[in-house]
Amino acid sequence: MAAFIDRVTVHVSAGNGGHGVSSVHREKFKPLGGPDGGNGGDGGDVVLEVDASVHTLLDFHHHPHQKAPNGKPGAGGHRNGARGEDAVLRVPEGTVVSVGGEVLGDLMGVGTRLVLAAGGKGGLGNAALANARRKAPGFALLGEPGEAVDAVLELKSVADVGLVGFPSAGKSSLVAAMSAAKPKIADYPFTTLVPNLGVIRSGDVTYTMADVPGLIPGASTGKGLGLQFLRHVERCAVLVHVVDMATMEPGRDPESDIVALEHELREYDEELDLVGRLRIAVLNKVDVPDGRELVDLVRATLEARGLEVFPISAVTGEGLPELGYALAREVQAHRASLPAPQATRITLTPRAVDDSGFTVQPDPRTDGWVVLGVKPERWVRQTDFSNDEAVGYLADRLNRLGVEVELATAGAVPGDAITVGDVTFDWEPTLPAGTLTVEETAGLGGRGTDVRLETNSRPRADERLAAKRRRRTPYELLEPEGDDPSWDDE
């Protein structure tokens, strides 16, 4: 089996965010020094990066599951958790990344990076959640889970010239004769199982040539090496048809080979116009008996089809210099036709004035309502539902965002099932801000407050001194406290 993989499916998981911590500062003479819980660290991202030393997707074929480290949780003393390191996956140039049939990126150029899965955000500690009304939060936010993506990586060779033709036409021999590449060469079909790249210099022009697996009729439907062959000619600027002048197979001749080739290229993808790139025909193996006579018979027919014909011999080197300069001319013309590179423009799309960031829709599953939006769903993931104060904080956030007003407008009534993310709860409307007077709200405890910080039950110095003396005085000599009649003299 050839150690070359050009299409794999990878299952990547970004790191989870670390949880925030709920902590209260404690030291001598400061039993309640205020909240000091640190934030959790963000989870690591899964990043694809183009590396010049990588030429195949073989590593992901053997290890399709990749995961980035999680973020560390926070700690007391305002110590934040460490961020998880990114998992950088090295891929070859020309890798196309798609998820669910949608192309996310075409990685061209060494160093190009693409974040395939983003790590989860770390949760806030109670120190970050404290404010003037909530002085000592007894809860912290949970870290968000990282993204999990099943992506398809597809490698398409990056070459200026692509050699196409039937098996054993001499494509690998041509690459070996014109460059320093050493592809495998043998006299049997499908010797070439992987694309072979060679670098060629003709005059002042340097270009790359790709030898791809051989073509047979029906390749566009997957026969033979089929799509593996056609995938690697999409990026080639010039396609060269290598014709075997020494074939002994019945029913084959140079013109029928070209007709079959053009049919497969057209059936593969008409929008790419691969047939339009097929402008040169190389008649290989003219050194064999009767090879030159056959060239004279087919040259006029091929030129009438608009092809430039070059009789060559990859073994003796005959006709290779002329072919090299012709290919350099075509490559240079293609490069000149390309538009000048432009800097990437960043487009900022402001949010619409009436966009609240969420929507409320009827939920047929529960006969209730479902709230859809990035913020509400993220807040639900961050909430520890085992902590009543954290649930109250979530209710406050949703109310401030306008979720309750939107539910009431949509027709929701108390007791309806409301679904946000993966959580479903019964709706109990809170008191809208401003509906009660100052006197009415004086007796209501603010959500998230801590009565321990509002009351001071610590004894004074004179009280501690009196208690100390009382402990050291024998029981019989203790004076009665208050007006206890049992201590009166009889």
Q: What is the pLDDT of residues 409-454, one digit of tens each?
A: 888 888 889 999 888 988 888 755 444 444 444 444 444 444 444 5
Residue 456 domain flag: no
**CATH code at position 367:** 3.30.300.350
Residue 43 domain flag: yes
**Same domain for 43 and 118:** yes
Residue pair 164/141 in contact (Cβ under 8 Å)? The answer is no
**Same domain for 171 and 29:** no
Binding-site positions for Mg(2+): 172, 192
Binding-site positions: 165-172, 190-194, 211-214, 284-287, 313-315
Domain final residue, candidates 304, 337, 370: 337
**Same domain for 294 and 413:** no
- Tell me the residue type at 303: E
Residue 489 domain flag: no
Beta bridge partners of 24: 35
Neighbour-count burial of 429, counting CB atoms closer than 10 A to its CB (0-12 exposed, 13-18 middle, 19+ buried): middle
Domain final residue, candidates 111, 136, 155: 155
- Tell me the residue type at 111: G
Provide the pLDDT for residue 479. Answer: 63
**Same domain for 363 and 310:** no
**Same domain for 328 and 215:** yes
| CA–CA distance, 442 with 9 (Å, rounded to integer) | 61
Please state the domain count of the chain.
3
Domain final residue, candidates 337, 371, 386: 337
**CATH code at position 332:** 3.40.50.300
**Same domain for 261 and 310:** yes
Provide the pLDDT for residue 4. Answer: 56
**Same domain for 169 and 151:** no
- Tell me the residue type at 43: G
**CATH code at position 145:** 2.70.210.12
Binding-site positions for GTP: 165-172, 190-194, 211-214, 284-287, 313-315
Domain coverage including residue 38: 7-155
Residue pair 404/429 in contact (Cβ under 8 Å)? The answer is yes
**The most confident of 188-192, 216-220, 333-337, 386-390, by mean pLDDT:** 386-390
Closest CA to 164 of 38, 362, 307: 307
**Same domain for 405 and 265:** no
Angle at 406 between CA 401 and CA 411, to 5 degrees: 155
What angle do the packed helices 320-337 and 171-178 form, to 10 degrees? 90
List pLDDT tens digits, range 331-366: 888 888 877 766 667 777 777 766 778 899 998 888
Residue 351 domain flag: no
Residue 198 domain flag: yes
Beta bridge partners of 423: 420
**Same domain for 195 and 124:** no
**Same domain for 228 and 307:** yes
**Same domain for 277 and 296:** yes
Percent of the chain past pLDDT 70, that is, above it, reads 79
List pLDDT tens digits, range 44-76: 999 999 988 887 788 898 899 999 999 999 999
Query: What would the DSSP string read from start to end of 150-218?
Result: EEEEEE----SEEEE-STTSSHHHHHHHHSS------SSTT---S-EEEEEEETTEEEEEEE-----TT
Residue pair 214/135 in contact (Cβ under 8 Å)? The answer is no
Q: Specify the higher pLDDT residue, 289 or 320.
A: 320
**Same domain for 300 and 370:** no
Provide the pLDDT for residue 135. Answer: 86
Residue 239 domain flag: yes
Residue 323 domain flag: yes
Q: Specify the higher pLDDT residue, 232 or 22.
A: 22
Assign 382 a pLDDT band (cuts: 50, 70, 90): very high
